[in-house]
Amino acid sequence: MSKATNWLTALIVLSMVLGVLFGEFILFDSDTPIGGDHWTKSVGDLVLIRPLKMLVIPLIFLSVVAGITRIGDPSKLGRLGLSTVAYYLGTMLIAVVIGASLVSFFQPGQLDPEVAATLQQDGQALFDANETKRTQIQDMQSQSLGSTWMNILSQCIPTNVFAEMVNGRPLGIIVFALGFGLALAAGGRRTEAARRFFDAAFEGMMIFVQWVIWLTPIGVFFLVAWTVGTIGFATILGPLGSYIGVVLLGLLIHGALVLPLILWLLTGTNPYRFMWQMRRALLTAFGTDSSSATLPVTMDCAEGEGGCSKRASNFVLPLGSTVNMDGTALYEAVAVVFLFQLFGFELAFSELVVVVITATLAAIGAAGIPSAGLVTMVIVIAAVNSSLAGTGEALPLAAIGVILGVDRIVDMCRTTVNVWGDATAAKVMTRIAPDDPDGD
């Protein structure tokens, strides 16, 4: 197995490098960069994103049911649930504080007035031209923070779990599977056959996952080529370079120092070894931009090489792929403060506190799909705007257009940190809910 996974890792890395070269030197031409619907994107979607997504909903259902029936005892489950939520909230808050501190310190939005004006104009043009994003952003703006939360809460208590499955909304499926798993555990001998069935079905699902994962190198090649082909490397060195640099620095501090430190303090395991064991999931997150599509790979790595218990990761990872987004939270804080700086606003400490709180909430509300964080960022901008209301000034929504063009690159990196955050949680929670030595 380990030989095969080493091969797979090598293939993924090779296809990423080839994808970058193909994207930069063959696809990208600074006069006419390739468009969003280029064939490379369609092939990447077809070969990797769609097969992975096909697995996600049944995997979430089966894994939570099988995991919960293994835990059995509701009080143990309560401890695991509370610790998981506390871990997720705590690490996201730390991430946001890192982001807000870095962007306030480095001030990447304080640019030469001429450069700033050009960026603002280009941003407006991009915002006007991108109809899909514009509509998503405007829809999000029309919802208040309260209604966004009401929406999330009502997703947690679905009236029809099949409708949640059809519409790909994981929260309701997790809640239903949790209750059903507990009921199967409580049923003793009467439900023993069903417990065995779901356990075996989950194992079967993971075998299916291991087959599909072999598509990763091909899909990653096309997706990376498309990203580089649309953006081009020179952008990273352009006026948005310092914004990208601050996001990446924050992600690096959080992902390579803070999370490893937390993991080491709470479990005593070597965090970098664990990071290496999770490498295929991290590379897939980087290549696909989606923590939800990466979930099958994350589970495969965590429960295989990563040594996480099924009891913990079967519940912690599906939940994490929907609500735990350290990278997104950090990025939203940096991006919003950057945009306010660029448009000439000085944010006071109280407004930064608003950013910290709302960016955490917005990240929880973001789905594990590409660019979700860019859209939920509207919640943060709206909150800061309303706290500026007394001044009669507000940041226009079209400001988001400024960072729209480079979002994909930033998204690849924040999604990797999102998945890494989920994986560290699974490792930490393995201490609370270890598997029995006989495998049950």
Q: Which residues bind ligand ASP (CB under 6 A)?
A: 289-291, 325, 328, 366, 368-373, 411, 414-415, 418
The distance of Cα 387 from the centroid of its chain, to the nearest Å, equals: 28
Taking Cα atoms as reference points, which of 290, 261, 286 lies closest to residue 424?
Answer: 261
- Nearest CB to ligand ASP, comparing residues 209 and 410: 410
By beta-carbon proximity to ligand ASP, the closer residue of 281 and 325 is 325
**Between 98 and 372, whose beta carbon lies closer to ligand ASP?**
372
Return the residue matching tokens 């990196």: 413
Instruction: Report how far residue 334's alpha carbon sits from residue 331's, in angstroms, rounded to the nearest whole number.
Output: 5
Nearest distance in Å: CB 376, ligand ASP: 8
Output 184 or 325, the one with its CB closest to ligand ASP.
Answer: 325
For ligand ASP, the closer CB: 59 or 369? 369
Cβ 339 to ligand ASP shortest distance, Å: 16
Report, in Å, the least distance between residue 152 CB and ligand ASP: 15
Burial of 187: CB neighbours in 10 Å, binned 0-12, 13-18, 19+: middle
Which tokens is 155 given?
């997703």
On whether the CB atoms of residues 152 and 365 are closer than 8 A, the answer is yes
Closest among 14, 27, 37, 45 to 288, alpha carbons compared:
45
Question: Closest CB to ligand ASP among 311 and 408?
Answer: 408
- Count the Cβ atoms, other than its own, within 10 Å of residue 317: 32
Closest CA to 423 of 327, 283, 299: 299
- Judged by DSSP in three states, 146 sits in helix
Decide: helix, strand or coil at residue 283.
helix
Nearer to ligand ASP by Cβ, of 313 and 416: the residue is 416
Residue (286 or 345) nearer to ligand ASP, CB: 286
Minimum separation from the CB atom of position 365 to ligand ASP (A): 11
Task: State how far the Cα of 179 lies from the Cα of 415, in Å rounded to an integer.
Answer: 30
Taking the complex as a whole, how short is the minimal distance between the CB of residue 130 and ligand ASP, in angstroms? 15
Give least dist CB 371 to ligand ASP, A. Answer: 5
Nearest residue relative to ligand ASP (C-beta): 373
178: which residues sit within 8 A by CB, 6+ positions away?
64, 68, 77, 315
Decide: 423 and 302 in contact? Cβ < 8 Å. yes
Q: Least distance (Å) from ligand ASP to the CB of residue 325? A: 6
Give the residue ranges of DSSP H helices in 241-371: 241-252, 259-267, 271-277, 279-288, 291-303, 310-323, 326-342, 349-365
Q: Shortest gap between Cβ of 414 and ligand ASP (angstroms)?
A: 5
Residue 62 or 325 having the CB closest to ligand ASP: 325
Instruction: Please give the single-letter amino acid code of residue 18.
Output: L
Q: Taking phi first (over 0 means left), then psi (-120 to 50 degrees means alpha), and beta for anything else, what does residue 347 get?
A: beta
